[in-house]
Amino acid sequence: MRLQVARIGKPHGIRGEVTVQVLTDAPQERFVKGEVLHVTGGPVSTLTIKNARWNKAILLLSFDEIADRNVAETLRGARLEIDSDEAPDNDSDEWYEHELLELKVMHDGTQVGVVTALRTNPAQDLLVFEDTSGEEIYLPFVDEFVPEIDTEAGTITITPPAGLLELNSEEEEGN
């Protein structure tokens, strides 16, 4: 099984270094020189870490295969993954982004969207989904607003705060 450990952001400098959004609890173990990471959504299938360093709160990575900023730009948005022998804990209330992607978002028995991302933030995680009109909606990923996740059925049930689903609707824009 593969687990996502980071998402590549923008290039940093001219030598192929990139910023990454860290999605692991152990970055000091995952991002070491020589570590080979699988790439999803990028122009290559694997990358080998050349160097990892922190610039304030941002992790910067360079790779053996990436020599300049132009090539680094092609990696923007790609997911970095590792192979894991860990069996998922079905009783856990923790979720990896790849487990949630493409799940149908249900509200009051009706599909209102599809999960497109999980944004991990210091304060709380945000579930990102695209509603039926193509708008991107952010919902705090907490039990109160996301009471049920059924990966076998391919659904995630939400109970959003009042007005969240209508926030970007055309009726609201007209007021």
Residue 148 pLDDT: 95
More confident residue, 162 or 1: 162
pLDDT at residue 167 greater than cutoff 80 = no
Q: What is the pLDDT of residues 8-66, one digit of tens each?
A: 999 999 999 999 999 888 899 899 999 999 999 889 999 999 999 999 889 999 999 99
CA separation (Å) from 39 to 6, 30, 56, 113, 162?
10, 14, 25, 27, 39
Contact of 141 with 125, CB cutoff 8 Å = yes
Contact of 158 with 145, CB cutoff 8 Å = yes
Q: Which residues contact 43 (CB under 8 A, 6 or more apart)?
A: 74, 75
pLDDT at residue 141 greater than cutoff 60 = yes
Average pLDDT for residues 127-144, to the nearest whole number?
A: 92
Task: Report pTM.
Answer: 0.60
- Helix segments in 32-106, DSSP class H: 69-73, 97-100
More confident residue, 172 or 127: 127
Residue 92 pLDDT: 54
- Cα–Cα distance, 143 to 174 (Å, whole number): 33
Domains of the chain (ranges plus CATH)? 2-83 (2.40.30.60), 97-174 (2.30.30.240)
**How many residues are recorded in the chain?**
175
Q: What is the pLDDT of residues 96-115, one digit of tens each?
A: 788 899 999 999 999 999 99
Residue 24 pLDDT: 83
Report residue 79 as tokens.
Answer: 């997911």
Query: Which helix (H) or strand (E) covers residue 157, if one does?
Result: strand 155-157
Average pLDDT for residues 68-85, to the nearest whole number?
A: 91
Residue 168 pLDDT: 58
More confident residue, 92 or 137: 137
What confidence tier does 150 reach under pLDDT thresholds 50, 70, 90? very high
Residue 4 pLDDT: 86
